[in-house]
Structure 1
Amino acid sequence: MYFLLNIVGLIVVMAVVFLCSPNKKKIKWRPIVMLLVFEFLITWFMLGTKVGGFVIGKIGAFFTWLISCASQGIAFAFPSVMANPTVDFFFSALLPIIFVVTFFDMLSYFGILPWLIDKIGWLISKISRLPKLESFFSIQMMFLGNTEALAVIRQQLAVVNNNRLLTFGLMSMSSISGSIIGSYLSMVPSTYVFTAIPLNCLNALLIANMLNPVDVSKEDDIIYVPSKAEKKDFFSTISNSMLVGMNMVIVILAMVIGYVALTAALNGVLGLFMHGLTIQKIFSYIFSPFAFLLGLTGHDAMYVAQLMGIKLATNEFVAMADLKGQLHSLPPHTIAVATTFLTSFANFSTIGMIYGSYQSLLDGEKSAIIGKNVWKLLVSGIAVSLLSAAIVGLFVW
């Protein structure tokens, strides 16, 4: 029964996005079907085969090694803290970002990361038959993050029309940066994190194609490649990367502290009107229909719905920290669905990040396309997370 409900949930998500699309007649269904088939194959490979499990294990081991390297640097600066049996969130999940950002920038400097992006982006473009730039952008987001990926294609963004600009904004809601993965792994199972990452990339393309279908001519379907003149020397690159990583740590820390405190204050106010009323309970009721459609039982559906609301209102770190404390008491299907849904940047603050990026990279007239379509960005981010969770849920019971 719950398996069938999960299938219905996947169909409902697609139907809701279709109803939200202002240009239903322009939707290209062949790329959507191709992407869905490819996603099912990826999910089956990752979760249903020994080879897939082996691949996930190796990727997980690689990131564990990265975190262990980062921990040595943290231990040098904070030896007494790292010697404790339990390490605070700031030291275990946030500070490693400094090294991981630097490591990924080193891969970019030596051309390894651009090569991966080029090959995977080409493959997705061939499978989906969607524009090359959008296909490559989905892969850039996976490794670099949304704001960094937007900066890479800034010259091309300046000349594309507003419809395509909106497409990149819609896709940016579902991004995940490789530099953040280590922080996720300290809180939730790696298997579902690494399965969610490629699914989110493909679903970002799929949902954007439904919400904002565009036609791109062959002459406009080109990729911007940064010139060698833009490349800095190696030591300047890694030094700047460390500063960027530290800035990310501070920003995430500020957001986590601020949003958790804001939630506590809001819960205090709500408690004055009704005893026991919290923002988490309100969100659990709002998102509960979608949680039930992911094949979850009553109690688990309400809890996952609560996590959905926390993620949307605050960020995935707050929700993952909550989920981490409940992993021991939840069944595999619930853990898989919840972890997959949380593995993305889709929340209100991400809209601000995207708008700010457009403002800094483009003129005010072009960046206004984001402000005018906030609801579409929210629909895109939530739909991608729900679709990825529904697909993963079909393979884990």
Structure 2
Amino acid sequence: MYFLLNLLGVFVVMGVVFLCSPKKKEIKWRPIASLLVVEVLITWFMLGTSIGTWIINKIASFFTWLISCANDGIAFAFPSVMGNETVDFFFSALLPIIFVVTFFDILSYFGILTWIIDKVGWVISKVSRLPKLESFFAIQMMFLGNTEALAVIRNQLSVLKDNRLLTFGIMSMSSISGSIIGAYLTMVPATYVFTAIPLNCLNALILVSLLNPVHVTKEEDMIYVPPKSEKKDFFSTISNSMLVGMNMVIVILAMVIGYVALTSALNGILGVIVDGLTVQKIFSYIFSPFAFLLGLTGHDAMYVAQLMGIKLATNEFVAMMDLKKNLDTLPPHTIAVATTFLTSFANFSTVGMIYGTYNSTLSEGKSTIIGKNVWKLLVSGIAVSLLSAMIVGLFVW
């Protein structure tokens, strides 16, 4: 029964998004069906085969090695802190971001990451029959993050029409950044984090095809290649990367502290109005219909619904920290769908980041397309996370 609910959830989510689409007659269903088949095959391979499990374990080991290298640098600056048996979230999850950002930028500098993005993006474009730029952007987000990927194609964005600009804004809600994967792995199981990453990439293409289908001519279907003159020297690149990483740490830390404090304040106010009422309880009721469609039982459905609301209102870090405390008491299916749902940047603050990126890299006139379509970004971000979680849920019981 719960498996059938989970399966039904996939069609319900896509149906809801279809109803929200203002361009229903322009939707092309064949690319959507192709991407769904690819997603099911990827999920089966990663979760249902020994080779897939081996690959995930190797990738997880690689990121564990990255984190250990980062910890060596942190231990040099904070030896007394890193010598403790338990290390605070700031040191164990956030500070390693500085090194991971730098490492990924080194891969980009020498063309390794660029080559991977190019090849995988070409495959996705052929399978989905969607425009090349959108397909490559989906892969770029998977490694670089939304704002970084937008910055990479900023010159091409400046000449696009508004309908395609909106496409990239919608897709940007579904990303994560390779630089913060290490932070996720300190809180939730690696298996579902690495499974969610490619699913989010493909679901972003599916959802944008439903919400904002566009027709691109052969002349418009081009990829921008930055000239060599834009490339800085190696040491300037890595030094800038370290500063960017530190800035990310400060931003995430500020948001975690601020949102946790704000949630506590709101809970205090709500408790005065209605005894025992909290933001978490409100969210648990709002998102509970979708949580039940994840194939969850009553108690687990309400808890995962609560996590969904926390992620949307605050960020995934706050929700993951809550999930981490309960991993030992939850069944495998609940852990799988909850972790997969949380592995993305889909929340209110991300809308602001996307708007700010458009405003700073393009122009105020171009960025208004985001401000006018905030609801589409939020619908897409939530739907992508739900679809990824539902597909993973089909394979974990």
TM-score calculated relative to the size of structure 2: 1.00
User: What displacement does 1:366 show?
Assistant: 1.1
Give distance in 2, aligned partners of 1:31 and 1:361: 31
Match of 2:83 in 1: 83
Taking the aligned partners of 1:328 and 1:227, their CA distance within structure 2 comes to 51
Pairing 1:274-313 to 2, within 5 Å after superposition: 274-313=274-313
1:350 is matched with 350
1:41 match: 41
For 1:180, the aligned partner's letter is: I
Deviation at 1:364, TM superposition (A): 1.3
1:364 alignment counterpart: 364
How far apart, CA to CA, are the structure 1 residues paired with 2:370 and 2:90? 32
1:173-219 deviations in Å (ceiling 9; x for gaps): 00110001000000000000000000000000000010000000000
> Which residue does 1:232 correspond to in 2?
232
Aligned to 1:218: 218
Alignment of 1:11-26 (within 5 A): 11-26=11-26
Q: Which amino acid aligns with 1:316?
A: E
For 1:45 and 1:226, locate their aligned partners in 2 and report how far apart those are by CA, in whole Å.
35
Q: CA deviation at 1:8?
A: 0.7
- Could you tell me which residue of structure 1 aligns to residue 318 of structure 2? 318
In 2, the alpha carbon distance for the partners of 1:258 and 1:273 equals: 23
Residue 283 of structure 1 aligns to a residue whose secondary structure is helix
In the alignment, the residues of structure 2 paired with residue 9 and residue 31 of structure 1 have an alpha-carbon distance, to the nearest angstrom, of 20
The one-letter code sitting in structure 2 at the alignment partner of 1:161 is K
Match of 2:166 in 1: 166
| 1:363 CA displacement | 1.4
For 1:360 and 1:209, locate their aligned partners in 2 and report how far apart those are by CA, in whole Å: 27
Distance 1:204 1:292 in 2: 23
Q: Measure how far apart 1:362 and its partner are.
A: 1.1
Q: Distance in 1 between matches of 2:226 and 2:189?
A: 36
What TM-score, normalized to structure 1?
1.00
Deviations 1:203-247 (A, max 9, x none): 000000100000000000000011111000000000000000000
Q: 1 CA distance for matches of 2:33 and 2:391?
A: 14
Of 127-136 and 357-366, the range deviating more from structure 2: 357-366
Over aligned residues, Cα RMSD in angstroms? 0.3
Separation (CA, whole Å) in 1 of partners of 2:332 and 2:377: 30
Name the aligned partner's letter for residue 396 of structure 1.
Answer: V
CA distance in 1, matches of 2:157, 2:258: 33
1:365 deviates by 1.3
SS in 1 for 2:176: coil
User: What does residue range 86-105 of structure 1 map to in structure 2 within 5 Å?
Assistant: 86-105=86-105
**1:106 aligned partner:** 106
| Equivalent position of 2:387 in the other structure | 387
Q: Where in structure 1 do 4 or more consecutive aligned residues deviate above 6 Å?
A: none
Q: Give CA deviations for 1:13-48 in whole Å, capped at 9, x if unaligned.
A: 010000000000000100000000000000000000
Q: Which residue of 2 aligns with 1:262?
A: 262
Q: State the partner residue of 2:187.
A: 187
Match of 1:333 in 2: 333
Residue in 2 that maps onto 1:68: 68
Corresponding position: 1:247 with 2:247: yes
d(CA) in 2 for partners of 1:136 and 1:51?
Answer: 26
The amino acid across from 2:7 in the alignment is: I
Shift of 1:148: 0.5
> Which one-letter code corresponds to 2:280 in the other structure?
Q
Q: Distance in 1 between matches of 2:291 and 2:312?
A: 14
CA shift, 1:163, in A, is 0.4
Query: Matched residues in 2 for 1:226 and 1:46: separation?
Result: 34
Partner deviation per Cα, 1:296-338 (whole Å, 9 max, x = no partner): 0000000000000000000000000000000000000000000
Q: What is the alpha-carbon distance in structure 2 between the residues aligned to residue 159 and residue 234 of structure 1? A: 30
AA aligned to 1:135 is S
Q: Which residue of 2 aligns with 1:131?
A: 131
Give the 3-state SS of the residue equivalent to 1:226 in structure 2.
coil
Per-residue Cα deviation, 1:52-91 (whole angstroms, up to 9, x for no partner): 0000000000000000000000000000100101000000
Give SS of 1:325's match.
helix
Whole-angstrom distance in 2 between the partners of 1:184 and 1:225: 32
CA distance in 1, matches of 2:87, 2:170: 37
Partner of 2:3: 3
Instruction: Give me the whole-angstrom Cα distance separating, in 1, the residues matched to 2:87 and 2:70.
Output: 14
How much does 1:277 deviate? Answer: 0.3
Distance 1:68 1:226 in 2: 34
- Distance in 2 of aligned mates of 1:359 and 1:289: 36
TM superposition shift of 1:2: 0.1
Pairing 1:44-59 to 2, within 5 Å after superposition = 44-59=44-59
Q: CA deviation at 1:129?
A: 0.3
Which whole-Å deviations, capped at 9, do the CAs of 1:328-368 have from their partners, x for residues lacking one?
A: 00000000000000000000000000000000011111110
User: Aligned partners of 2:361, 2:60: CA distance in 1, in Å?
Assistant: 35
Map of 1:206 onto structure 2: 206
